[in-house]
């Protein structure tokens, strides 16, 4: 037998041994054949989970609203700097040529914050309903 055939036979033998080991481990009786079904969740647990989910969603919405309010305040401050010559000397940014862009961003931020506030109001109503 030449070296090339002997190498192939050796690889095939090793592969066969590994395959047998894997099959034996998978067929071992240590594992249950069927996973048990999860225990049914009671109505009280469902209610508590829904309330917890609503509170988490409310916290997230409140965080996003706080970020939005901060962004709106920054835009308002930038516009104030543009319009007040005293502030312009102290803080040369933003550029007065950006006023229109800032006004557009302010309009969008105000609209976005109003939507976030409304979503927060709806979540508060849902939470109050669930807590009853």
User: Is residue 97 packed enough to be buried (19+ CB in 10 Å), middle (13-18) or exposed (0-12)?
Assistant: exposed
Per-residue confidence of the chain (132 residues) as pLDDT tens digits?
Answer: 555 555 566 666 776 676 667 666 666 555 555 677 677 778 889 989 999 999 999 999 999 999 999 999 999 999 998 888 888 788 777 787 888 999 999 999 999 999 999 999 999 999 999 998
Distance between CA atoms of residues 38 and 66, nearest Å: 40
Q: What local confidence, expressed as pLDDT, does residue 119 receive?
A: 97
């Amino acid at each position: 037998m030449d070296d090339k055939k002997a190498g192939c036979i050796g690889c095939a033998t090793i592969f066969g041994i590994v395959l047998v080991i894997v099959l034996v481990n998978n067929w071992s009786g240590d594992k249950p054949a069927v996973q048990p079904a999860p225990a049914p969740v009671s109505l009280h647990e469902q209610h508590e989970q829904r309330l917890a989910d609503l509170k988490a969603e409310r916290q997230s919405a409140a965080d996003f609203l706080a970020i939005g309010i901060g962004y709106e305040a920054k835009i308002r401050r930038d516009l104030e700097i543009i319009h007040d010559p005293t502030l312009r000397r102290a803080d040369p940014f933003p550029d007065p040529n950006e006023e229109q862009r800032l006004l557009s961003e302010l309009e969008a931020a105000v609209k976005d914050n109003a939507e976030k506030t409304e979503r927060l109001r709806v979540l508060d109503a849902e939470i109050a309903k669930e807590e009853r």
